[in-house]
Amino acid sequence: MLIHPTLEKLRELRLTGMQKALIEQMDMPDCDALSFDERFGILVDSEHTERENRRLQTRLKRARLRQAATVEDIDYRQPRGLDKSLMLSLAGCDWVRQHHNVIITGPTGTGKSYLACALGNKVCREGYPVLYFRIARLFQDLAIAKADGRYDKVLRTLVRCRLLVLDDWGTAPLTDEQRRDLFEVMEDRYDRGSTIIAAQLPVKHWHETIGDPTLADAILDRLIHNAYTITLKGESMRKRKTKDLTIAKPSGKKGKES
């Protein structure tokens, strides 16, 4: 049997998973021992896996997560108040399916952004669209969208994503325009999607950072009452890592969370 025309047709049809699996089958010494159904099943499984991987890479690219973090690489050894059982529960992503939120607070360097990105990565792997923004960048993009007439389109994009990750929350008081933009985003997403907030500022100070009491109540009502809260504490992990490097020789191995 001439296999090259078949491989070429699979390539033209963009069935690259089947193409690779067929090549692998031809190199298998016991390939003839498999039935037609078994061989065809392997081809279909390979194509399905290939397409799932492509879709995942597309979701991760669109998410623009700040760090290449995964829930499997979270460091639980450092004493920073991180509840492993809660993180394992969140890794199941039921909170996303239920449109709940996650709030991560703590001092600088304790791993807030890493945890937020790790959860975002897991949500992508579960098949849901994710978007990551530093809060200042979100406001900047919304301001630009207003100026060029894309504001409604950007809001629709924010609504469609199942998980919105907002990092560096509360680093500066909000302006009136930013307060109203934030309310629009939270109102549109309420009970439609989930949000992760990563902030140095404790939740009890968010009212004063938002500014306007009425809008602050409305925004926080949509955020915190159905949210899981992770409160980190302790020394900066970056600082701890620097200390470790001064007393230990480099091993040449890639580290996990930092």
Q: Which CATH number does the domain 64-247 belong to among 3.40.50.300, 3.90.1150.10, 1.20.210.10, 3.40.640.10?
A: 3.40.50.300
Rounded Cα distance, 206 and 209, in Å: 5
Instruction: With a cut of 80, say whether residue 157 has pLDDT above it.
Output: yes
Residue 155 has what pLDDT?
A: 94
Tell me, letter by letter, the H, E, C secondary structure of 69-87.
CCHHHCCCCCCCCCCHHHH
Tokens of 124: 């992508």
Query: What is the overall mean pLDDT for the chain?
Result: 87
Structure token pair of residue 209:
């950072």
- Give the Cβ contact number of residue 214 at 10 Å: 10
Q: Which of 126-130, 184-188, 251-255 has the lowest mean pLDDT?
A: 251-255
| Rounded average pLDDT over 193-217 | 93
Burial 17-52 (b: 16+ CB within 10 A, else e): bbbbbbeebeeeeeeeeeeeeeeeebbeebbeebee
Write down the pLDDT at residue 247: 53
Residue 258 pLDDT > 60, yes or no? no
Q: How many residues does this entry show for the chain?
A: 258
Domain ranges of the chain: 4-61, 64-247
Rounded Cα distance, 19 and 46, in Å: 9
**How does strand 227-231 pair with strand 163-169?**
unpaired
pLDDT score, position 212: 87
* pTM score of the predicted model: 0.79
Q: The tokens of 146 are what? A: 């207003």
Strands 194-199 and 227-231: unpaired
Instruction: Check pLDDT > 80 for residue 38.
Output: no
Q: Is the pLDDT of residue 182 over 90?
A: yes
Residue 2 has pLDDT above 70, yes or no: no
Reported as a single tens digit per residue, the pLDDT across 119-156 is 999 999 999 999 999 999 999 999 999 999 999 999 99
pLDDT of the residue at 22: 79
Tell me the chain's radius of gyration from C-alpha atoms.
23
CA–CA gap between residue 47 and residue 49 (Å, rounded): 5
- If you average pLDDT over residues 105-131, what whole number do you get? 95
Region of 227 on the Ramachandran plot (φ > 0 left; ψ -120 to 50 alpha; else beta):
beta
At 83, the amino acid letter reads: D
**Integer CA distances (angstroms), 50 to 10, 18, 24, 56, 234, in order:** 13, 9, 14, 10, 43
pLDDT beyond 80 at 106 = yes
65 or 256: which leads in pLDDT = 65
